[in-house]
A and B are shown apart, each in its own frame.
Chain A
Amino acid sequence: MEVLSDNNWVLTVGTFLPLVGVLIMLFIPKADEALAKAVAIITAAATLAVGIFTLVKFDYDKADQMQFVAEAEWISVIKSSYFIGLDGISLPLYFLSMVITLLVMIYSWNHVPSPGNAKAFFALMLILQTGMAGTFIARDLVLFFVFFELVLLPMYFMIGVWGGENRQYASLKFFLYTMFGSALMLVAFLALFFQTGAESFSIPYLIEEGINIPKNTQIWIFAGMFIGFAVKVPMFPFHTWLPDAHTQAPTQGSVILAAILLKLGTYGFVRIAIPILPEAAKEWAPWIGLLAVIGIIYGALGCLAQTDMKRLIAFSSVAHMGYVMLGISTLTEFGMNAAMFGMVAHGLITGMLFFIAGSVKERYHTLEIKRLSGLLVQVPKLGWILGFSAMASLGLPGLAGFWGEFPAILSAYQPAEGLPVGVFRTYMVIAAIGTVFAAAYLLWLYQRTAFGEPTAEFSSGHGHDHGHGHGDDDAHSDIHDVNKFEWIAWTPLLIAIVVFGVYPQLMFKVLDPAVGVTLKAFGG
């Protein structure tokens, strides 16, 4: 394979640098929390610096090609190699994972959830980062699988140790459900390996060879991958782990989960399942589309039924990932571009919403919508940021969410050749109706929590009148507006939401060529 760039060390360094940080942290005494945090943040910052270097060195005119490719022998017994590379599809997600990790860490500086132990918490985030970044650069299925699974454990512990009241159930469910999907995915990978002559796990090789697999076999292999990725996305009806995991996870866990982890599934579809098994993808596409639009409406209905703000945001992910999957299921450039853009936009916006939910919880010690009211009165800046994020989330043009949503709807009008047009046009209308639902649940949430007067329970003026049952003024002393660490962690996200919304070409320019290559098998 042609070496496109001399800088092919950057990906390896960018991916594994966090582990170096973890190693260093092992030698820091548990009591010295500040030092542990500092080391972790510096590591994340250094990783991001490598990421920025990658961004600078990336050849944007060749976004359709793999760059910084490195290949080395790895597990030769099963013909798997350490094969990595980065193209226009990987780049935004790879970079996003670095940014999110750093921002989450900065936010964590004074927000380490109970029961404390900052050292372990930060170390887990660094391990998580390696897993996420690695997944986006892996060009070998075994390597992909390893990274994909590596992500699971730190997140399991994050939810299981630092989570809410029901954390044990949620973390176990998260772990087992994803594991179940992964197992089937592994079956599919192995089947693929044997079907292509047991030669290699390299993705480019499999793309070359996969086309020769008989269609019926392709469909079965795709089914395995489908379940693996669909659980991760999560698609209806495999989504039930998500609300629990999100509700119970600490804020940091929710942000990373929403911003990056869910994308591993959709990325898997785009990078692996569809290009390797194009025939099966065509057969599956209408069904994926169907589950996607069910997810859009169903997720929205789920949102409307929620009484808990965080759980509502979690359900909104089901709806939003529905748009992403709808875009993917069309197997067209429009759809894929929208899906890729939607992934990043959802990461930024929903990540932001979870940050806000965390901060509300910290201030009010509850996320029950009924008890929250008048955020704009008590914490006006937080209230405005919530409004901004809600608007972004419902797909307001001019903000990033729109560019994931509208082109996805648009693309369903004309899916790839060979797909049932009438069916997809029905999906288009349903998805368009979904935008109204999105407006409904988000604005209703906003109306109930941000508008109006604060409930008696939390309003300082009435505190002494009604405050006998609870913590009185002590409880209200937590209620303060956005603080310094929150500003540092949030500002980049807020800016990115606006910048990508106003000038989406920044990302489409990178995505579009790579998407074209992915869809080569469909004559796109």
Chain B
Amino acid sequence: MSVVAAETAEVVLSSGWFLENAFIIPIIPAVAFALIIFFGKRMPMKGSEFGIASMVGALVMSVGAGYQWIQRVNGAPEEAYIEPIIRTWTWWQNGGIPLGIGQHIDGLSIVILIVVAFISTLVQIYSTEYLHGDRRYTHFFASLTLFSAGMLNMVVAENMIQLILGWELMGLCSFMLIGHWWEDGANSRAALKAFFTTRTGDIGLLVGTSVLYFAANDWTQKTLGVSGFSIRGLSAWALSGEPSSTAITVGAVALFIAAIGKSGQFPLHTWLPDAMAGPTPVSSLLHSSTMVVAGVFLVARIFPVFYEGMNIYGSNVNFIIVIGAITIVIAAALAFVQTDIKKVLAYSTVSQLGYMMMGLGAGAWLPAVFHIFTHAFFKACLFLAAGSISHSASHHSFDMKKDMGGLRKFMPITFGTWIVSTLALAGVFPFSGFFSKDEIIDNVGYAGYTIFMWVGLLGAFMTAAYMTRATYLTFFGAPRGAAAGEHHDEHDAHGHDAHDDHDAHATHDAHAAHDAHGHDAHASHGPRESGPLITIPLIILATLAMGSGLLNAVPFGSEWENFKKWIEPRGQVVSVTGIDHSAGSHGESRVIQPEARVTAGYESDCGKKTPTDGVCYAPQLKHAKFKWSKAALSLAIVAAGIIISWFVSVQLYTRRNKVLVGLTQRNKLLGAGYAFLVNKYYLDVLYEKIIVRSIAYPISRGAYWINQNILDGIVNGAGTGSKTIAGWVYRNIDQRVVDGAVNKSGDAAQGAGSIVRPVQSGKVNQYGALLFGAAAIGALVLVIINT
């Protein structure tokens, strides 16, 4: 088992059981999913025990693998390329060539594994309380667990097909979880929209994978002995100087389109805010911290393909950075006009994903990945805090204007964790977001993309401002609506998050569903703090939101840059002579690189020049030097955002300042802008009312009309026509000329047919005889012509 360790010239890289068997991590929740489906309802905790246990198991294994990976890195010479641990088994084959499934474990996969397993565990624990008594409690845990299996599988994926498997499984679970309360039409529409929109992006995934496979396969088979689906193969191929610029650009653009769909980038971001129709734990796990970073992960995973395909570092602008920058700003702008607290967070997520993409587009690989890491904690925390509010204080409403306000007094823990996470999100020193987001902005500027650096700073200002607005509306000012203990009709509440306690008799009774919405035991208590199963995950996440930035605290000096040391693939030329394609047992094959040659010095040519005696698996990345002067600027911008927004919020929402209130009604230009934002740039109108509607109705009906009237018309016409001809032939030729024999056989056939069906079968035989006759004549003609 320990042979896999690749050697450098001097040192054997350490490995370990957890690293070698990391492929088991996704299998654990997959098995748990099956257990929940088949036995969940009979278990004392209705199946949630399987889910939680599997997530804890996955977390333990991920952390174990992480520990061993750190050992591996620490034991290696500085700047040496750290060989990932790759194992494959035959999954399918073509032309006798096996195509695999397996694992590709390196720093990137390990960090995402830990994040996913960790947040999944917390969210599942939180859900036991949040969805307590829900009628589909077991199904909920099944979907949540399957989601984790899909995501973890995508993260460990050895090749693109395996990655697609995980990618689509997440899409499926997202569909099931957004539509969890499918009795309500709005929820099922949101579920459909999410699946459908991401699926549209997935056209790119299918096309991109195909393009890259055929472009790379010959080279990868020859050089590395792996297929053109292999992540390692694609990475090395991209940097080999081999690919034609068309193929790799088309492949990279196509794959990035998939990332746009999955990671809610402009212009396919519209599904993400609607996805908030799902239960809050789902929003927290899938639609903020894990699943939606799948697109970012894809770009980071086969970064060399994008690096070469998009010419990162080599040009002033590229597709990724533009999409990322647009997304940052348009999503942040939308966050200002939301009244639903979850939608503010949703747009914030979209905006932050834009930061990650912009970072990757600028070659700031490490800050972008680090931002995935820190963002997961503070965004999950914010969502769970929002859930805590709706669960215990606002009577399942998420409307900040109607049902919240002044909650800081009632929910101190929720308030505290919210504030910590908000500061992290805004990028205030020394919270985690500062260390990741500021690095992205800094590195974008350092790589020469100055305009985009300013976009990043603008985004930081907006982030600080909309979060301050949301915080003010929720926790400050006077309590309103449900927060003030009022009752109002649930059905009018915008974006309510309803669930019921009528599990036992509601399961098969549709009508209980409406009545039961939200009328649960704690409805009339007024705002209060949530229970420990909710607050403990909040506290844990808030702690990480505060501290996780220290893992890569660039400002404190290079000895703090642990994340960089452990995670960033080092762009070194690796010798490929003497690759060992050893065949393991049970159809397993391994490609072992015996020697990872270390070039002297920090600078290598990977990504700049074609490697001559070896391959590169990663480009040499640039890193900005941290300067407090630059950080001071962005911190000042953030502070300005907070202060201005606070002042405006107080004036607008509490003091009812006459200049501000109703401004959008009085000023036409502002009103138009406001309407533009409220209507989400009319993108939904374009997609749903124009594109989808036209395909679903006029176009499909037109096609069907053609089908029924033209294509089928021809068929029916031919039928009627031949019937007429047959009748004529029968009357004029058959009766008069041939007469006897045919008639008799027809009668016989009719007699036989009449046993089952007297009317039609005679005709069939006549037609049949006619057709065969025609066929025989045709055959004869054909033979004569061609001889």
Interface, chain A (partner B; CB < 8 A): 120, 156-157, 160-161, 168, 171-173, 175-177, 179-180, 183-184, 186-187, 190-191, 194-195, 214, 217, 220-221, 224, 237, 239-241, 298, 301-306, 333-334, 337, 374, 376-378, 380, 391, 396-398, 402-403, 406-407, 409-410, 412-414, 428-429, 432-433, 435-436, 439-440, 443-444, 447, 450-454, 459, 461-462, 503-505, 508-509, 512-513, 516, 524
Contacts and interface: CB of A to CB of B under 8 A. Distances in A.
Contact of A432 (B191, B206, B712): B206
A440 B196 CA distance: 7
Given A378-B510, A451-B182, A504-B91, 18 more contacts: A160-B760, A176-B764, A191-B786, A237-B711, A298-B707, A304-B700, A333-B95, A334-B94, A391-B172, A402-B168, A433-B203, A436-B202, A436-B203, A439-B199, A440-B692, A444-B696, A453-B183, A461-B509
Interface stretch (B63-71, B335-343, B777-785): B777-785
B783 A194 contact: yes
A429 B208 CA distance: 10
Contacts of B508: 377-378, 380
Given A435-B203, A504-B92, A447 B188 contact: yes
A512 B199 CA distance: 29
Interface in B150-209: 161, 164-165, 167-169, 172, 175, 179, 182-183, 185, 188-189, 191-192, 195-196, 199-200, 202-203, 206-207, 209
Interface string B357-379: 00000000000000000000000
Interface stretch (B4-12, B564-572, B768-776): B768-776
Contact of A435 (B175, B199, B696, B760): B199
A183 B214 contact: no
Given A176-B719, A301-B695, A451-B183, A333 B172 contact: no
Contacts of B214: 413-414
A524 B97 CA distance: 13
A220 B783 CA distance: 11
B715 interface: yes
A512 B96 contact: yes
B288 to A, nearest CB: 24
A56 to B, nearest CB: 21
A305 B95 contact: no
Contacts of B188: 447, 451-452
Most buried by B among A180, A305, A376: A305
A509 B93 contact: yes
B779 A503 contact: no
Interface in B122-168: 161, 164-165, 167-168
A436 B183 contact: no
B729 to A, nearest CB: 16
A191 B199 contact: no
Contacts of A160: 756-757, 760
Contacts of A378: 508, 510
A201 B434 CA distance: 78
Contact of B715 (A173, A187, A220, A403): A173
A410 B209 contact: yes
Given A298-B703, A337-B94, A436-B196, A168 B182 contact: no
A168 B175 CA distance: 42
Given A301-B699, A407-B94, A410-B210, A451 B179 contact: yes
A443 B211 contact: no
23 contacts: A177-B715, A183-B774, A187-B775, A220-B782, A237-B711, A298-B703, A306-B704, A377-B510, A378-B508, A397-B167, A409-B206, A409-B210, A413-B210, A413-B213, A435-B202, A447-B192, A450-B182, A452-B188, A453-B511, A453-B513, A459-B510, A505-B93, A509-B93
A442 to B, nearest CB: 10
B514 to A, nearest CB: 8
A380 B509 CA distance: 11
Given A240-B711, A374-B510, A304 B696 contact: yes
Contacts of B91: 503-505
A195 B784 CA distance: 11
Interface in B633-689: none
A459 B511 contact: yes
Contacts of A410: 206, 209-210, 213
B771 A396 contact: no
Contacts of A440: 196, 692, 695-696
B629 interface: no
Contacts of A444: 192, 696
A430 to B, nearest CB: 10
B582 interface: no
A376 B168 CA distance: 23
A284 B427 CA distance: 62
Contacts of A161: 756-757
Given A186-B775, A240-B715, A398-B165, A156 B764 contact: yes
B701 interface: yes
B454 interface: no
A172 B771 contact: no
Nearest to B775: A183
- 6 smallest beta-carbon distances between A and B, as pairs: A183-B775, A305-B704, A304-B700, A301-B703, A451-B182, A451-B188
Contacts of A412: 210
A503 B183 CA distance: 35
B103 to A, nearest CB: 16
A509 B756 CA distance: 45
B46 to A, nearest CB: 16
Contacts of A409: 206-207, 210
B626 interface: no
Contacts of A177: 715
Contacts of B783: 190-191, 194-195
Given A191-B783, A301-B695, A443-B196, A513 B203 contact: no
Given A241-B715, A398-B165, A443-B196, A512 B93 contact: yes
Nearest to B149: A398
A298 B772 CA distance: 32
A456 B92 CA distance: 49
Contacts of A120: 756
Given A301-B695, A440-B196, A516-B96, A398 B203 contact: no
A224 to B, nearest CB: 8
B531 to A, nearest CB: 30
Given A241-B715, A413-B214, A301 B704 contact: yes
B759 interface: yes
B730 interface: no
Contacts of A186: 772, 775, 779
Nearest to B513: A453
Contacts of A191: 779, 782-783, 786
Given A183-B774, A397-B168, A508 B700 contact: no
Contacts of A406: 161, 164, 206
B90 interface: yes
Interface string B729-763: 00000000000000000000000000011011001
Nearest to A221: B782
Given A173-B715, A302-B700, A447 B168 contact: no
Contacts of A224: 782
B767 interface: yes
A406 B211 CA distance: 13
Contacts of B767: 176, 179
A298 B701 CA distance: 11
Contact of B183 (A172, A452, A505, A513): A452
Nearest to B511: A461
Contacts of A428: 207, 210
Nearest to B162: A397
B585 interface: no
Nearest to A377: B510
B90 to A, nearest CB: 6
B37 to A, nearest CB: 9
Nearest to A444: B192
